[in-house]
Homo-oligomer: A and B are copies of this chain.
Amino acid sequence: MLITGTVIADPETVIDDGAVVIEGSTITAVGKADALLSEHPDHERRAFDIVAPGLVGGHVHSVQSLGRGIADDDELLDWLFEAVLPMEAAMDAEATRAAAELGYLECLESGTTTVVDHLSVNHAAEAFEAAIETGIRGRLGKVLMDKESPDGLLESTDAGLAETEALIGEYHGAADGRIRYAVTPRFAVTCTEACLRGCREIADRYDGVAIHTHASENKDEIATVEEATGKRNVHWLDEVGLTGPDVTLAHCVHTDESERDILAETDTVVTHCPSSNMKLASGIAPIHDYLERGITVALGNDGPPCNNTLDPFTEMRQASLLGKVDARDPTRLPAETVLAMATINGARAAGFDRIGRLEAGYEADLIGLTTEKTRATPLHDPLSHLVYAAHGDDVVFTMVAGTVRYDGGEHVGIDADAVRERATRHAERVVEAAGIETAGR
């Protein structure tokens, strides 16, 4: 296939009248359309206004999709212990499958081609199957919770680690390598030292398996960890092996200088979730400092109960705007920086070498956008448009590993209406079973 348009190959490279050539699952050439069209006269052709790399959701919770809107405007602890965790505990296999499918469809239709996905304790295999089925690329992991956790989620250290290894055997490298595994302890508050050390051991034992967890999202969390361990959270994670180039830590809102030194020295990846941090009032992560220290910062939507969408364009815009006002400097986090966070840095968070830019030899993960919209008029600067004005709704074409998954407003190869219908049905059932009180407005 040969795809033409204004090609935003990476944050520094915009090719007017450009083209991307795809053979199988791989990009084989990127350049000016004229030359590539004459070199490849027989390729199937598609044209979009803007062609960009598929975006990377560096921290999502697809299985929380059934909880969109269940607990807005709530205190964090109520949000977590009265709504989100009871919902996860009440989800059976079918509900988990429906939730993950819904989340992946939302990602694919709004421009995310790769997710770093924090699943749940139970029924994680269902999400792996949903990822394989929907065609999204992903670094997924079953959640580990072996202390301080509600019934229905708490499990023994050994059981959690054993299931982790079973899932690695089953799914790590599945779908021609499109699916990879991240060992996923929920966070230091709900995981014993044995569990956390066990996570590192497993990650070291299996080639290409990574680690993904939450860290230092809010002040209660870090106080709890400090009380239990005598250490600041990132010091604790470092001690038990949960730092390093194969580790993605979501949030990192509340870190001190010494913790930032550790993140930089160990080349740990941080995923910034600006909308989630704002909506849950967690705070503003020190992104400027992280970037100045050379720490890789990706972007994530977190989950529908705290965002309430998985639109990656919302997060790019939000990261930039929040970063500017936080620094009181409108030049900070310019469009190219946040696009890098959602693409190149996201590739680091996801642990895939050959995604995040349009370049020969890279995976054919890309999106096509329309600019036939009032809010894309005039279009002085495609990169500005992508970051500051575009929505997920502007995505009209999504390809993952050379396979078209979304085209002209329709998902390819999956009945999206049926997915939405199933998700609604399971959501109502699960919310009722868990006794969650929604706003009921």
Contact = CB atoms under 8 A, between A and B. Distances in A.
A72 B388 contact: yes
B325 A105 contact: no
Given A69-B388, A393-B393, A325 B375 contact: no
A375 B384 CA distance: 24
A388 B439 CA distance: 14
A205 interface: no
Contacts of A197: none
Contacts of A79: 330
A267 B104 CA distance: 49
A69 B330 contact: no
A428 interface: yes
Given A330-B75, A331-B75, A335-B72, A424 B324 contact: no
The complex is assembled from copies of this chain, and their number is 2
B335 A66 contact: no
Given A383-B441, A385-B69, A439-B383, A279 B324 contact: yes
A240 B330 CA distance: 32
B381 A325 contact: no
A224 B370 CA distance: 44
Contact of A378 (B68, B75, B279, B382): B68
A374 B334 CA distance: 30
A290 to B, nearest CB: 18
A105 B327 CA distance: 34
A328 B385 contact: no
Given A310-B375, A378-B423, A69 B389 contact: yes
A329 B388 contact: no
A416 interface: yes
A322 interface: yes
Given A279-B324, A308-B388, A378-B427, 7 more contacts: A69-B385, A73-B331, A279-B330, A281-B332, A308-B385, A311-B375, A335-B439
